[in-house]
Amino acid sequence: MDRVRQTEKETSYSVMPRVVVTQSDSSGDDKLERILFELEDYQISHGSLLKIPRALTDLESAVAVAHPIGVSVVPTRFPRLHFEHAQDIQPFFNELYMSVSEDYDWLESIIRPLGEVDEHVGKLWSIWERVREKGEVQPLRCGIFRSDYMLHYNQKSTEGQHGIYTDPSDQVDRSVLDSELKQVEFNTYSCAGGTHANIVANMHRYLIHKGVHETASLPANSSLMSIVEALAVAHQAYGPPISQTCQAAILMTVQPNNVNICDERPIEYALLERKPPIMLFRVCFGGAVLQKCRLGPNRELLFQLTPETVPIEISVVYQRAGYDSHEYDQKGIDARLLLEISRAIKCPTILSHMAGFKKVQQALTRPGVLERFLSSEKAVGTLRHTFMPQFPMDPPEDGDGDGIMIEKITRDRKEATNYVLKPSLEGGGHNIYGADIPDFLDTVPREARSKYILMEKIHPIPMHGVLVSPESTFQGPVVSELGVLGTCLWRRKGGSGERPQILESSGAGWTFKTKSKHVEEMSVVKGYGCFDCPSLF
Ligand code: ADP
Ligand code: MG
């Protein structure tokens, strides 16, 4: 079919991360064409789109333009066993990260040294120190978390053994089922993708109902409404405004020239459709926060929509910006401090934000650490089983076996192929993969290396997949990443290290993203992968 560009050059990924075709099956072209016809209308009609902000385009257009986000053309197979297990364990992960977020001493032992070599972390930590000095007036905290997983087949090379997973056969099914659910990362801050995932899951269910797809077992997704519910619960928990003349509303921080409004706006719209309606205002992180927000006499956060109107008291600050280091110029620092010291419930607090650093994730894999945060042995064992081996990149001391092993790995391109080097940054595009690690580390001064962690690679068995984005279409071996959303509301306890009181905690739907197996990164917005829906078997 015309729309499927063909190329044999799979290696083009390193220079062009967008999906491209590697194989095409001409017998299925008509069917594919029919799916694409239905799919593009569904995407456009349901806001499965990325906005092209006027500031980022040369197009002379009076109205904004958008294009469809990358999606799978057919749902990719994924084992039900692992899908359900990932949902079942989310409450344990919620509990873990709530506890970590409240353990100032433990977090300090990890993050303060990291802040000495990582400027971004250092800035966030010093904002927290100022919050601590001032004291917090809001004991409630809200979390919208996402735990990301891939399936790991415990053989260094799955290729050759199984080839690509095109025809479900007993042997391949068994190997996929024998794979283990392994955590890629745990996100505590500004978790995106919930709405897109929801739309794409609904789209594939619709295509089944229409008979465009063959029948498959596609799980329902509730991620959008779960996020809305979590924010509504936090908003209600805030209680009536302290300033009696004010209305209360939620404030969402956003990045300027945002391409991802279709993931964010439906949350605002759905909050307004509740009874009673809840208003949500968007404000750009940084200078605009300082211009529009101030503290009232009881540190209530007052948002001035326009100079003439009565200020609005903010119940919940929902952060969808403030994760990139460039956002923390002086205005960004001041804005974050203002939000953190206010009475509004933070979703999440700056400590929860930092609890999501890769360095924390690595520290949680050390023996005995999970026991500090979780009360049940079952929870400890279950979560530990999802961890891949991870190591700090701190300079080795005498007799430090791990340190010496890491030195060896990171000096040898062949040894390094089985690892990913990660800094404590969010948003994608910061990791160094495999054989690139030694050369990259040569450019990093020895004392600065401890800002990275080294993680063993997860090796999923590739499935067959068909992906489409405005740039191109891809058919061939793919790997998928399951994200499980979790929402919670908790109350800080008095003493340092004391466990929080959990008021609400639940699983909140999922995201499912698929990419060509040749792509290392995974960010749909940045063009590395596609939203998908698991076809459970
Ligand atoms: P980010 O904060 O940039 O999202 P991640 O840890 O999620 O960082 O890494 C980005 C992507 O890199 C992941 O979505 C995944 O596709 C890939 N990746 C990360 N860690 C591993 C790993 N250990 N094995 C295989 N792929 C990985
Ligand atoms: Mg990630």
Q: What is the rounded CA–CA span in Å between residue 197 and residue 508?
A: 12
Ligand 1 atom 8, closest CA: 428
The per-residue pLDDT for 209 is 94
- Does 424 lie in the same domain as 528? no
The answer to whether the beta carbons of residues 263 and 318 sit under 8 Å apart is: no
Higher-pLDDT residue of 408 and 400 is 408
Does residue 348 have a cis bond before it (omega within 30 degrees)? yes
Ligand 1 atom 20, closest CA: 184
Distance 480 CA to ligand 2 centre (A): 13
- On the question of pLDDT at 167 being above 80, the answer is no
- On the question of pLDDT at 525 being above 90, the answer is no
Higher-pLDDT residue of 413 and 159 is 413
- Does 441 lie in the same domain as 430? yes
Question: Looking up tokens 């997860």, which residue turns up?
Answer: 458
Q: Which domain holds residue 158?
A: 76-384+458-536
Distance 397 CA to ligand 2 centre (A): 31
The per-residue pLDDT for 477 is 95
- Does 316 lie in the same domain as 208? yes
pLDDT per residue as tens digits for the range 250-290: 999 999 999 999 999 999 999 999 999 999 999 999 999 99
**Closest listed residue to residue 389, CA positions, set 483, 458, 480:** 458
- Does 26 lie in the same domain as 63? yes
Task: Place 117 in a pLDDT band, splitting at 50, 70 and 90.
Answer: very high
The per-residue pLDDT for 5 is 33
Q: Which of 210-214, 401-405, 469-473, 495-499 has the highest mean pLDDT?
A: 210-214
The per-residue pLDDT for 396 is 75
- Return the best residue to mutate from 186, 324, 431, 457 for the ligand 1 pocket (most ligand atoms within 8 A of CB): 431
Distance 393 CA to ligand 2 centre (A): 20
pLDDT per residue as tens digits for the range 449-481: 999 999 999 999 999 999 999 888 899 999 999
- On the question of pLDDT at 59 being above 90, the answer is no
* Coil, strand or helix at 400: coil
pLDDT per residue as tens digits for the range 298-314: 999 999 999 999 999 99
Q: What is the rounded CA–CA span in Å between residue 392 and residue 450?
A: 7
Q: What is the rounded CA–CA span in Å between residue 80 and residue 529?
A: 22
- Determine the atom of ligand 1 nearest the C-alpha atom of 422: 6
The arithmetic mean of pLDDT across residues 326-348, rounded, is 98
Q: What is the rounded CA–CA span in Å between residue 434 and residue 416?
A: 5
The per-residue pLDDT for 176 is 85
Angle between helices 194-209 and 223-238 (to 10 degrees): 140
**Chosen domain end from 24, 50, 69:** 69
* Coil, strand or helix at 115: helix
pTM for the full model? 0.93
The beta strands (E) that lie in 329-396 are given as 345-347, 390-392
Q: What is the mean pLDDT of the chain?
A: 90
- Does 465 lie in the same domain as 446? no
The per-residue pLDDT for 397 is 75
Burial class (CB in 10 A: 0-12, 13-18, 19+), 436: middle
The per-residue pLDDT for 16 is 30
Distance 177 CA to ligand 2 centre (A): 24
Widest pairwise Cα distance in the chain: 71
- Does 528 lie in the same domain as 440? no
Sign of torsion, CA 357 363 364 365?
positive
The per-residue pLDDT for 168 is 54
Question: Looking up tokens 């899951």, which residue turns up?
Answer: 201
The arithmetic mean of pLDDT across residues 482-504, rounded, is 91
- Return the best residue to mutate from 152, 156, 185, 426 for the ligand 1 pocket (most ligand atoms within 8 A of CB): 185
Q: What is the rounded CA–CA span in Å between residue 61 and residue 53?
A: 11
**Chosen domain end from 52, 69, 86:** 69
- Determine the atom of ligand 1 nearest the C-alpha atom of 455: 23
Task: Place 498 in a pLDDT band, splitting at 50, 70 and 90.
Answer: confident
- Does 420 lie in the same domain as 353? no
- Does 395 lie in the same domain as 359? no
- On the question of pLDDT at 523 being above 90, the answer is no
The CA-to-CA distance between both ends of the chain, in Å, stands at: 30
- Does 259 lie in the same domain as 194? yes
Question: Residues with beta carbon inside 6 Å of ligand 1?
Answer: 148, 184-185, 388, 420, 422, 426, 428, 430-431, 455, 457-458, 481, 520-522
- Does 366 lie in the same domain as 246? yes
- Determine the atom of ligand 1 nearest the C-alpha atom of 456: 23
Ligand 1 atom 13, closest CA: 522
- Does 279 lie in the same domain as 421? no
Distance 225 CA to ligand 2 centre (A): 22
Ligand that comes closest to the CA of residue 420: 1
**Chosen domain end from 69, 104, 121:** 69
User: What total of structural domains would you count in the chain?
Assistant: 3
Distance 420 CA to ligand 1 centre (A): 8
Sign of torsion, CA 261 264 270 272?
negative
Share of the chain above pLDDT 90, in %: 76
- Does 208 lie in the same domain as 64? no
Identify the weakest region by mean pLDDT among 45-54, 181-190, 259-268, 328-337. 45-54
- On the question of pLDDT at 496 being above 50, the answer is yes
- On the question of pLDDT at 91 being above 90, the answer is yes
